[in-house]
Structure 1
Amino acid sequence: MAGSIAARSSRSKTNVRDEGPFDRELEDLPAEMRWREWMMRVEAVIFASTEPVSRETLARVVGKDCSIDLLIDDLIEELRDRPYELVSVASGWQHRTRSRFAETIRASSAPTRGGAAALSEFEAMVLMAVGYFQPVTRGELSKIFGREVSRDTIGNLRGAGFIGSGPRSPTPGAPYTYVTTKHFLSAFGMETLRDLPDVEALEDAGLLSRRAVQSEPLSAEVESEEE
């Protein structure tokens, strides 16, 4: 028995050694086959990832002179007739089901991965305010809405991965500020925060107010209660 285990272990180590270092360049392949292999590698990495994949990550699996942008263009074209597509979000790339199949997927009741976590209407409004006014404190958020933004609300948004801690505010008490994350961009299909809707249109609709956070700061006692 011991001899059998030792033999299997030896064969396993031999196989690992035989694989050698990861071949990025694929110089032994004709140019067309090399390009096709790089395309499949890039698509495999993006498909397997739960988050948008950055250019730096993809560069680890293709040749040093390979154009990531041209590879992505070819993949996008190849997927043109498929029910899913390759999209640029959160400074990376991700597979997304085409929007016209959303009703079909909902009707199937099949479990899905990714997407935005379910938020209450108020949580969604608070998240939107963080997106526009970040870095922003809990006290400043409370002033925007004219009601307290509770620690539970902040905790739920943090737990869903939409916001994280920013720098300490320079206001009295140095409260924590909050900022959005890459997951926020990914979940809502944005490349950068510049893709947020025009804040002036939201102000005209009465949904947000920059005046609230530009008015007199909250007292130190209120701000110091923040986490």
Structure 2
Amino acid sequence: MSDDTPGAERDPVTEAIRALRAEAGQRPGGDSGPPGVRLAVDNDAELMRMAEALLFAAVEPLDLDTLKARLPSGADVRAVIAALQAKYQSAGIQLMEVGGRWRFQTAPDLAFLLRTEREEPRKLSQAALETLAIIAYHQPVTRAEIEDIRGVAVSRGTLDQLLEMKWIRLRGRRRSPGRPVTYGVTDGFLDYFGLASLGDLPGVSDLKAAGLLSSRLPPDFMIPEPGRILPGEEEDLFSDEEAADFHVDFLDVEEED
């Protein structure tokens, strides 16, 4: 039976939308006429569906510029992202920001469902963990600066291992005598540790609470702001091609840590 047949049951929502469309069609448009009825809800829902499809199909997190290029012209990408976050807030998957990019991932409280116990054939040594922490908090940092902070030489395999794991990268060359190479962490590092940005790294109070720092610290002890360029530390950044072609070669023979 057709919806127009007398006596047929009609969905009130459908009827309301039909009435709004009819009213919008009878009113003049443009800035000079009275404001017509805009079915923004329909447009917003379609934009959310498009962004949802892009984020689900992407093999890696997407930034706002990528989403903006794919969505219709004039789309408010930030508003769409906020709407999707609200939509999935209580769902089994959530829209999360990782390193300035967006992706769908399992809700944190359901992570135990996907957790599996397996033996890791390769673990980071204490030296590698210390080196990684120094790079994360002090980047951009040179190899000599890492050695100065740790008080021991960086072994040949430590930086190679972190580079191979794609947790650190070559940033560029410091504008200082010798033009030393500088290191920084990657989006893969942020992704693995669940950090939206370097600003989410734990501070002194967090490290103390976790038992990773002694409660008896020197009064002038501080943790640097990650990624902050201090005077005299300017660097010339590598392009992706230059970083890929660069070979780290230690000329001197060193003992492992």
Q: TM-score, normalised by structure 1?
A: 0.65
* Aligned counterparts of 1:72 and 1:53: Cα–Cα separation in 2: 11
Identify the structure with bigger relative contact order (alpha carbons < 8 Å, sequence gap 6+): 1
Deviation of 1:90 after TM superposition, in Å, equals 0.8
The AA in structure 2 aligned to 1:126 is: T
1:85 matches 2:90: no
- Among 25, 50, 53, the alignment partner of 1:44 is 53
The AA in structure 2 aligned to 1:155 is: D
1:56 matches 2:65: yes
Q: Contact between 1:42 and 1:58, CA under 8 Å: does it hold in 2? A: yes
* Aligned counterparts of 2:104 and 2:124: Cα–Cα separation in 1: 23
Q: TM-score, normalised by structure 2?
A: 0.58
1:181 matches 2:181: no
Kindly report the root-mean-square deviation, in angstroms, between the aligned alpha carbons of the 2 structures: 3.4
Q: Corresponding residue for 2:170?
A: 165
* Aligned counterparts of 2:174 and 2:223: Cα–Cα separation in 1: 17
Deviation of 1:143 after TM superposition, in Å, equals 2.4
Unaligned runs of 5+ in 2: 1-38, 225-249, 253-257
Summarize deviations over 1:154-184 as a string: whole Å, max 9, x none.
1221122221112323454332110122332
Q: Contact between 1:135 and 1:177, CA under 8 Å: does it hold in 2? A: yes
* Aligned counterparts of 2:72 and 2:186: Cα–Cα separation in 1: 31
Indicate the structure with greater helix content: 1
Summarize deviations over 1:167-217 as a string: whole Å, max 9, x none.
323454332110122332233222322222225765991699879xxxxxx
* Aligned counterparts of 1:39 and 1:210: Cα–Cα separation in 2: 41
* Aligned counterparts of 2:46 and 2:164: Cα–Cα separation in 1: 39
Q: Contact between 1:38 and 1:61, CA under 8 Å: does it hold in 2? A: no
SS in 2 for 1:167: strand
Q: Kindly tell me the number of residue pairs found equivalent between the two proteins.
A: 179
Q: Which has the larger radius of gyration?
A: 2
* Aligned counterparts of 2:58 and 2:84: Cα–Cα separation in 1: 16
The 3 A distance-change label for structure 1 pair 182 and 210 is same
SS in 1 for 2:158: helix
1:140 matches 2:140: no
Summarize deviations over 1:35-64 as a string: whole Å, max 9, x none.
223212212222222332111000122222
* Aligned counterparts of 2:68 and 2:195: Cα–Cα separation in 1: 22
